[in-house]
Structure 1
Amino acid sequence: MTLFLNSEGKIKNIWWVVLFFLILSSFLFPLIILADRFSFEITMTHQVILISVVSIICQMLRRKSVSDLVGKFNSTWFKELCIGLLIGALLMILPVSVLTIFGFIDWQLNIFSFSTILSGFAIFLSAAIAEELLFRGFMFQRLIQAFGKWPAQIIIAALFLLTHINNPGMTGTVKILASINIFIASIMFGLAYIKTKSLAMPLGLHFMANYMQGTVLGFGVSGSKEPSLFKPVFDHAPVWLSGGDFGIEASALGLCFVILITVLLYIWHPSYLGRQITTNIN
């Protein structure tokens, strides 16, 4: 065993994480320079392509298949995706229903538009793919093998929060509640991966939570506002309860449901799966 190699003569997992960042940076910085030079915006589509390419390169260098990274595309994968979509929808519908029942929210119907549905679908699907590949993909999986599941969860949750910490509206009470919510949400997505050893469920959960919150219900999504089918009208609801312009992610009620789903995922043992993630302290 050396600084770079484990007892089996293979590169230690932590160095694969370093290599992932180096390759990602080698693509990202030129892209930033080009974007500045030719005055174009780096979109979520660019990010999906970039992270996908880097992930595939790293898998090829490890002589592993892409299915080891994202899960095998079979009936089980799509079943897990659908479960994730359902959980993601409930994660937003339940707290919003409580707020509506107790009179904190009234609703207005925006003019129906297919462009609203499709643009929201594209935006939030791209965001979910990019973030799940980055935070539950190659890097997370190598950290699990290097340090174990929970140290990896904490490291990734901290990084996940760091990428959201300067989002619009991150001030005061909103910043406190949103930070806790985002950190625990990362743990929730991580558990969805750990339980299934596939990105299908966390991808479905992440996408549908954002799509339901933003495109359908009309709340902000991590401080960003997109066209929506409905428009919530807050009737004297305090920001700590409604989340304000930031979204349900900054709501105490939303936080309660994120914690609930996280606990349920923690105790869930999928009987249809015989898959385990091995931990190799290297």
Structure 2
Amino acid sequence: MKQIIRDRHGSLRNGWWILAFLVLFLASQPVYRVVSKAIQHQGFEGAWLAPLPVLFLSLVTYACLRLRREGLAAVGLRADLTWARELFYGAALGMALIGLVTGLIFAAGGVRFSLDPTRSLNALAMGTWMFAWAVVLEELLFRGFVFQRLVDGIGAWPTLLGMGLLFAIAHWGNPGMEGPTLAWATLDTALGAILMGLAYLRTRSLALPIGLHFGWNWAQGALLGFDVSGFDQAGWLLPELLAKPQWLTGGAFGPEASVFAVLVDTMAVVLMWRWKGSAKTQPAMPAPVAAVATD
């Protein structure tokens, strides 16, 4: 019985920590709904509520960390220059990746752009605000405490693949998830999750995956004006999809349902896997090809 609860080092097994997180998360939801309604009754709605889910998820995460006698740094949240630098690099990389996808769609004759006549700095700022909170929420949920306990418990690649599939399934209810789009968008969303999971594992920080996720979504929606995962966005540019197959342009779901997104994300996953990273300790993973050749 003791072996079921504790590992050979006498620590509580990771599965029990995941269960504790889920119990606390579910217990927090009635409180979240009460607080959300109270804030709305004060006249704050829409964008003003965006930080609230992040706050509650952060509190649940912090409670689990305190039970483990750890701080927020243990889950990959820190306030230092290294964290800020990795966040910046991640955002730049995310923007570059979606820029490459868009460039390939454009080169294939799938889209043309014009300036959106309704563009404004206020709309750009609102897009930045909303994308930032949505990204932090998803990264805490999918690359945070549970992801990290799974890595410790079952290993890196089973966790990357399993959480990648779960991340993709979580998007199945999005608008436009049907027909060929379902297949291409599911594949690319899973690849994106694996990429961000690797970004965490290579740095042991949430800064790089948060930056990656934000840079991709912000550039795709707030800047280029594409739909993001099926949801309409007001961008600085106004894309017009041309008469090309949906698997090429991504259709109404956005470029994430394009074959080019799958190709670019596959390339990014391989490069992230080959990168040695900046973390002092990393979980056991298949070594990059270059490292194997020099052993």
Matched, 1:277 2:278: no
Name the structure 2 match of 1:19: 20
State the 1:11 CA deviation. 1.0
Matched, 1:86 2:87: no
Name the structure 2 match of 1:203: 210
Deviations 1:12-33 (A, max 9, x none): 1111011101100001144347
State the 1:79 CA deviation. 2.1
Matched, 1:170 2:171: no
Q: Could you list the runs of 5+ residues in structure 1 that have no partner in the other structure? A: none
Matched, 1:7 2:14: no
State the 1:9 CA deviation. 2.2
State the 1:4 CA deviation. 1.3
TM-score, with structure 2 as normaliser: 0.88
Q: What is the SS of the residue equivalent to 2:123?
A: helix
Q: What is the SS of the residue equivalent to 1:2?
A: helix
State the 1:41 CA deviation. 7.0
State the 1:106 CA deviation. 1.4
Q: Distance in 2 between matches of 1:249 and 1:237?
A: 16
Aligned residues: 277
Decide whether aligned partners of structure 1 residues 77 and 41 sit closer, same or farther in structure 2, where only a CA change above 3 A counts.
closer
Would the aligned equivalents of 1:71 and 1:197 in 2 still touch at CA under 8 Å? no
Q: Distance in 1 between matches of 2:144 and 2:245?
A: 37
Q: Distance in 1 between matches of 2:234 and 2:130?
A: 11
TM-score, with structure 1 as normaliser: 0.92
Matched, 1:255 2:256: no
Would the aligned equivalents of 2:201 and 2:283 in 1 still touch at CA under 8 Å? no
Deviations 1:124-144 (A, max 9, x none): 100110010111111111111
Name the structure 2 match of 1:59: 65
Q: What is the SS of the residue equivalent to 2:114?
A: strand
Q: Distance in 2 between matches of 1:218 and 1:184?
A: 23
Percent identical residues: 31
Deviations 1:142-184 (A, max 9, x none): 1111111111112211221221111111000011100011111
Matched, 1:133 2:134: no
State the 1:104 CA deviation. 2.2
Q: RMSD over aligned Cα, in angstroms?
A: 2.0
Would the aligned equivalents of 2:54 and 2:133 in 1 still touch at CA under 8 Å? yes
Q: Distance in 2 between matches of 1:155 and 1:235?
A: 36
Q: Distance in 2 between matches of 1:182 and 1:121?
A: 21
Would the aligned equivalents of 1:44 and 1:130 in 2 still touch at CA under 8 Å? no
Q: Distance in 2 between matches of 1:128 and 1:86?
A: 15
Q: Distance in 1 between matches of 2:279 and 2:230?
A: 39
1:49 to 47, 51, 55: 55
Name the structure 2 match of 1:119: 126
Q: Distance in 1 between matches of 2:224 and 2:248?
A: 16
Q: What is the SS of the residue equivalent to 1:257?
A: helix
Decide whether aligned partners of structure 1 residues 66 and 278 sit closer, same or farther in structure 2, where only a CA change above 3 A counts.
same
2:148 maps to a residue whose letter is Q
Q: What is the SS of the residue equivalent to 2:4?
A: coil
Name the structure 1 match of 2:219: 212
Matched, 1:264 2:271: yes
Would the aligned equivalents of 2:224 and 2:239 in 1 still touch at CA under 8 Å? yes
